[in-house]
Each structure stands twice: as structure tokens, then as C-alpha cells.
Amino acid sequence: MNRNKIARIIAIILALLMAGSILFSAVGALTAGAVPTQAEINKLREQKKEHERRKQEIQSRINTIEFERMTEVAKKTVLDDRIVLTGMEIENITETIDFYALLIIEKENEVVAAQGREDAQFMKYKRRVRDMEENGVISYLEIVFDSTGFSDLLARLDFIRDIMNADERTYNDLIKAKLETDAAREALIETKLEMEEERVLLKQLNLELEQQLDEAHALIKSIETNLETEKALYQEERAEADKIQREINVKQAEYDQEQERKRIAAANRIKGTGDLMWPVPGFRNVSSGFGLRLHPIYRVYRQHTGIDIGAAHGSRVVAADTGTVLISDYNSNYGNYIVISHGASIGGKNVTTLYAHLSSRGVKAGATVTKGDTIGRIGSTGVSTGPHLHFEVTIGGVRVNPEKYL
């Protein structure tokens, strides 16, 4: 076999490899997702569909005549629900993007490994082609003609067949390695494209969230134009605040009685340190302090029962101390709010902390939390004109200035 024939054979092999890569890439696209993190991505996508469905239901309520007939506070509650769901979608997509980032690293490693196998197989095939070029057909004829008899000839023919089968396996292994490399590259490209689609959607949702927040804040500010509404809402807010405090005291008493009945006092079993930490990591701005103040919406002086900490929407809110979640609920004044009992941790008196206007709540009533655990996210639900945390501290059933204990 001369060099020109060998060159033509190699050219045909390369053409077959390129054609085969197209078929294998299609198969690879179907199997590339069979990795551990893909199931988690699919789960997140199902959650996203549910969020979208619920948000569409809320938007349908907003578009109805009944929505226009609602009170301003009731409207704000509906808008808060929509904002919370948008925030959940943003968290969902952010987590999906994080999974894609890990998946891309895995796909890149697969490409490197597949390329390594292909290179090794190609070197093996080149060595075999070089041997064929140097020996050619003559070596096979010599094996046949040098036989000493018929039995020896049959044995030599079996030997030639083994060589040919080995050559075919080497060729097939090279094709397989090449196709695996192409499939890994296709899977990597597809994963990167999917992640980019999620990034585009995340950007759109962030813009949508900003618009929804503006709409909700504008609704609250519009209350200022109606003095009677302001006064009524102020009374409602004060009544709600007193109601919540009574609920806190009742639940605290029930909690203590239950622990006493079990002879395992809450103060001994789940007790705070008494040293409260700042509840919004990275944000130290107190936009409104504790005490008498002019209410920004109702234009009347009232006792501000906590402090307002300004922070970016969606920022973490953490438990100021170890304890048990007494309340995790929504109310038209405080919006999403959480109350935590820290037991008799300061001066032998029961201590509770309250976190209000959250965009989302991450703990349920009855849960045990450790100091510094994330319990929710900054928002502006309820009567609020901007994203912040309303934070209260109660000692022995009396609200105190939180800044004295932080």
C-alpha cells in the first residue's frame, strides 16, 4: 500500500468522524442532563411555574372591579402578596443560576476528560497507521507464503484476522472518543445558553419588582391626601399594635405554662444569651428611632415602639438571639412579621424580639432558632413607604428601646 492510498484512507476516516459527530451530538444532548444537579434544576423550574401561576391569580384579582372597590389597606395587602411572589421568583432563579454555574464546571471537566481520551486514542491510531504504511500488504502476504503447511496456513490466517479485528477496534474506539468529545462540548454550550436565559429572566424580574414596589409605595403615599382615612388608619394601626403585643404576652404566658407543666422551663431549655446582635447584617442606618415621633404617613405624633433600620429590599434579617418562634404571620399594619421568645435572658425577665415589614418569612411558629440564623428578608409589606426592618424588643411585657440592648 503506497502513501497516496493511505492518505486517502485517512481522509475518508476523518470525514466519517465529522459526519458521525452530528449524530452523536444529538444523542449527547438527550443524555447530558443525566447528572445529579439536573434533578435539582428541574425541581426549581417546577417551583417557578407554581410561583408564576400564583402571581397570575393575584394579577387577575388586581385587574377586577372588586379590587377597585377595596379599601386602600386591603389593596396594599394584595400588592404585598404580588411583591412577595416576585421576590420568591427572584430567589428561585438566583438559585437556579447557582446550580447552572456548578453544572458548567462539571461539563467543562467532562470536555477536558473526553478530549484527553480522544487524544490518547488518536495517538494510538496514528501509530497503527504508521505501522501499516511501513509494512503494508506485503507483510500479510509474507505471513501466508511463509507457511509450512495447510494447518500452519490456517493458523496464520487466524492471526491475520485477529490483527484486522484489532485494527477495526482501534478505528471504532477513535470514532467513539471523537463523538464523546463533541457531545461533551455540545452539552457545555447548551448549559451555558440555558444559564444565560435565566440571567435575562432575572434581570426582567428585578425590573418588575422595582415597578411593583413603586406602585405599592405610591398607594401608601396616596393615603396622605385623605385626612379622615389617615386618622382611621392611625387608630387601626395603634389597635393592631396593641393587639399584637397582647398576643405576644398571651403566647409568652402559654409558652411558659407549657414548659412549667413539662418541668422544663423555656428559660433553661431554649434560652437566649441576653446579648442581642444587630438584626440586619451590613446595614446600620436607623432611619427612625424609638420614642415619640411624627408619623410620616398619618401626620400625627405617636409612640414609635421600635426602631426602623433601612436596608436594600431582599437583604437578610437574622435572629437577634437564640430562642423559639412565637409568631410568624401577616398583618395589615406590620405586613409579614415574626416574633421570637428568648426566655428569661435579661434581668431574669422574659425577652421577645419582633421583626416587621418583611418581604418573606423563613421560619414558622414553634421553630427553634440560633442567634444569627436567617429568619426572613427585608421588604416593605404592610404600612411602609420603603424597604426597611421595624425591630422591637420587649422585656417583661414592656417594649424598650432596642438600641440600648444591641
From-to residues of CATH 2.70.70.10 in the chain: 226-404
pLDDT tens digits, residue range 27-72? 333 334 444 456 777 777 787 777 778 777 777 877 776 777 777 7
Average pLDDT of span 297-319: 85
Q: Give the residue among 218, 201, 177, 175 at the shortest CA–CA distance from 76.
A: 218
Three-state secondary-structure class, residue 317 = strand
pLDDT tens digits, residue range 6-21? 334 333 333 333 333 3
pLDDT of residue 357: 95
Identify whether the C-beta of residue 226 lies closer than 8 Å to the C-beta of residue 96. Answer: no
CATH number of 226-404: 2.70.70.10
Identify whether the C-beta of residue 367 lies closer than 8 Å to the C-beta of residue 324. Answer: yes
Residues whose CB falls within 8 Å of the CB of residue 309, separated by 6 or more in sequence, listed in order: 279, 280, 283, 284, 285, 286, 287, 388, 389, 391
List residues bridging with 294 in a β-sheet: 301
Q: Is the pTM of this model over 0.85?
A: no
The rounded mean pLDDT for the chain is: 75
DSSP letter, residue 225: G
pLDDT of residue 141: 58
Return the exposure string of 86-114: e unless at least 16 CB atoms fall within 10 Å of the residue's CB, then b.
bbbbbbbbebbbebbeebbeebeebbeeb
Number of helical (H) and strand (E) elements in the chain, helices listed first: 7, 12
Please report which confidence band the pLDDT of residue 26 belongs to, taking 50, 70 and 90 as the band edges: very low
376 pLDDT above the threshold of 90: yes
Please report which confidence band the pLDDT of residue 144 belongs to, taking 50, 70 and 90 as the band edges: low
